[in-house]
Every structure is written in structure tokens, then in C-alpha cells.
Amino acid sequence: MAALRVAVVGGGIVGLAVARELLHSIDGARVTVFEKESGVARHQTGHNSGVVHAGLYYAPGSLKARLCRRGVHLLREYLAQKDIRYSECGKIVVAHTAGDAARLAGIHERALANGVPGVRLVDAGEITDIEPHARGISALHSPSTAIVDYPAVAEALAVDIADAGGEVLCDHGVIGMRRHGTEVVVTTAATSGAFDVVITCAGLQSDRVARMFGDSASPRIVPFFGDYFLLHEAKSDMVNGLIYPVPDPRYPFLGVHLTKHVDGRVSLGPNAFLAPGREAYTRGGWSAGDVAAAVGFPGFWRFAVRNTAAAVREARTVMSRAAFVREAQKYVPDVSVDDVVRGPRGIRAQAMNADGTLEDDFVITGTDKVIHLRNAPSPGATSSLAIAEYIVGTVVPARLGA
């Protein structure tokens, strides 16, 4: 039997995990990763908070819930093998009002249903035992929530792929895909090749890459940027782990929180606002085509009308450092504007439907020959090895009739 030839589009942590899983699970597989940048992990993988999520929020039974918990297990094993630093610093989700506390109880129930270890509700006194500078009336404590260096994980995956006989082709942005008989021809500016199966994990460009092979226009990626501020090094001991707000169902995004990183830095953020470009990481950078695509999408305006209050809140944090810090002060009152410097910016690849709703789960579409991962925001990095296991072990055999 001829070796299965597979192309993976996208050199972020999920695409690399899929390529590695193919090589480890399918005897004789020939795997090529196409990445448009000059190196791996240049987009969402390299611009996130580094949190290994425990699975607190996700609907029990959803792909997010299942693959997050499985992903944590696989990731911990992998990090131990590769000697990549992993810090189980823990997380508290802090309630300030009775409404927050009621929602927190619901999150606790979800976390228990998802099998999150050690999760428990704590009172105001216990909050300060865990995080001395944090304040609230109650909190949910997840001691197993952790932090890691995801770009380092991606680099290790790329090495594994090469060692197993696969290829990671950087500076090879895919510009076309077409079916030719029983094969799929993948074209870049530099080369063209035929494959038996193509798996796209293109993140911020996932909808556009899917459309190359005739997949549905929806869900559409609408990019939201998130700015971060960093605590001065001398102030980093104010935070031991992760301090989060209780998600408010009126708003689509979480809001500013405080996060310890594996290098000891502490970040405040992110906020969330419509990005001026899918890859506009620098302030002042923008893409006219990306802006036109977002504001020309009817789903965006339906979303915007329903979320005016959230947009006003987020706009304040975009325009004012003081407003940004005030959001963090709700949870850590001792933080001041003078304690922070501007940090990096991330961009979330959020899949949005034509009716303006946000996709709340991982979304996988496509055909027997081309499989598209259309939506994999947080906890996508946490779940990456489990997403790969699911696609290679379940989706690919089902599509191929194996």
C-alpha cells in the first residue's frame, strides 16, 4: 500500500501537533507542513498568555471540555520528556458581587463535571491566603492551572517532525488548493505538490484557507486584538499565579486579568477590540483589506449591536492606560498606573457566524480529502496535542472510510 501523503497548512502549535501525530500514528506517512512565515509559532502561539487551562468554563461534553482535559495530560507528559518548564502556579476566579458569586457556583459545577482536579470555592480570607494582594468576596481556586512557554513547545514539535522524517517548509504560504482526481494539489509561491489528505490549521487565516477549497464562508474569522501591560519587575511578587474575573454572560470576552508567566513577568490584560488587521501586532499597523472584510461582514454588525456596552468598556481600556489599570485594580487594588509598562499585543482568531453569534467550541469542517480546523481559540494551545490526537485518530479515519 502506498504511503499516505498529508499536507498540514499552518505552523502554529496545533498544526505542528497534528503533523507530529500523523507521523507517530500512521505507518509510513509522508507529512509536509506549510507555514507562510519564516519560522513557526509566529502568530497566536507566539502571542498568547502562556496559560495551560484546567477546563473550568467549557460546557461538559463539548470538544473544548474533552480536549482541554486530555490536552493537559498529554502536554504535561510531553513537557516532561522535553524538559520544558511548566509551572503549576494555580488560578483564582474572583467574585465581587452576589451575581458574580452565583455565576461562580455554576462555573464550579462545570469544573467538577469536567474533572478538573482540586477545584474548590474559597471565601475572602482564603483569597488572601492564596493571593495576598487580591480582594473579593469569594473565589474559585484551581490549583492545577499552569503556565508554560508555548513557542518553546512549538519549536520542540518542529524538531520532532523533522526527526520522524517530516518536513516543515517555512516561507511557503499556501495560495491555492484544488482537487485533481483522487489527489489534492497544494500550491505555494515556491512549489506545488500532490497529497492524499490536506489538514488546515491556519488560525487567523483559517476561513480564507478553507474557502480555497470551496468550504463555507461561515464561520468567518473576525480578529480581536488584546493589549497587555507588564508589571515592573520589582512589583512582580504582587501576583503568585493567575487572578481572573468571573465571566459576565452579557459580554463576549473575559476582561482584564493578571497572569504570571514562566519567566517571572506578570501581565495585565488582555482587553478585546476589533483589530485593524488579522496580523496587526504593532500599534499603528493595519490592513485595509482585513478591516473591510470585518466591517463588511453582516454578522459583525449583528454582533456589535448586541454588545455595545462591552465595546464601550473595551474602548476605554484601549484609549486610556488608567482605565485599563482600573480594571485590574478591581482584583488587585495595590496595582497603580506607575507600576506598569506597555507590553505586547495578541490577536484572537475568533470565528463568527452570519447571525453575529460567536462559535463557542472547536469547529472542524471539510471533506474526505481536505479537513479544516475552523475555530480553535483558547484553550487551543492547551488542547493542541489532544486536538491532534482527535483529528488523526477520529476525523481522518472517518473521512477516509478507514
What are 181-217's pLDDT values in tens digits? 999 999 999 999 999 999 999 999 999 999 999 999 9
Give bridge partners of residue 8 from the DSSP assignment.
Answer: 33, 199
User: Under 8 Å CB-to-CB from 379, ≥6 apart: which residues?
Assistant: 53, 55, 58, 64, 68, 71
Q: Which residues of 356-376 are buried (b: 16+ CB within 10 A; e: fewer)?
A: bebbeebbbbbeebbbbbbbb
User: Under 8 Å CB-to-CB from 394, ≥6 apart: which residues?
Assistant: none
The reported pLDDT for the residue numbered 399 is 86
Structural domains in the chain, CATH included, are: 5-46+151-217+360-400 (3.50.50.60), 91-143 (no CATH), 220-239+248-356 (no CATH)
Among 143, 194, 202, which Cα is nearest to 372's?
Answer: 202
Name the residue type at position 268.
Answer: L
The reported pLDDT for the residue numbered 400 is 81
Mean pLDDT for the chain overall: 96
The reported pLDDT for the residue numbered 171 is 98
pLDDT digits (tens, 9 = 90+) for 88-124: 999 999 999 999 999 999 999 999 999 999 999 999 9
The reported pLDDT for the residue numbered 2 is 77
pLDDT digits (tens, 9 = 90+) for 353-389: 999 999 999 999 999 999 999 999 999 999 999 999 9
The reported pLDDT for the residue numbered 288 is 96
Decide if pLDDT at 13 tops 90: yes
Decide if pLDDT at 319 tops 80: yes
The reported pLDDT for the residue numbered 179 is 95
Q: Residues 312-328: what's their mean pLDDT? A: 95
pLDDT digits (tens, 9 = 90+) for 262-297: 999 999 999 999 999 999 999 889 999 999 999 999
250 or 10: which leads in pLDDT: 10
The reported pLDDT for the residue numbered 402 is 58
Among 162, 122, 142, which Cα is nearest to 52's?
Answer: 142
Q: Residues 133-146: what's their mean pLDDT? A: 98
In this structure, the number of other CB atoms found within 10 A of the CB of residue 44 comes to 22
The structure's pTM equals 0.97
The reported pLDDT for the residue numbered 252 is 75
Q: Residues 23-38: what's their mean pLDDT? A: 97
Q: Residues 39-64: what's their mean pLDDT? A: 97
All three cell numbers of 85, joined, read 518548564
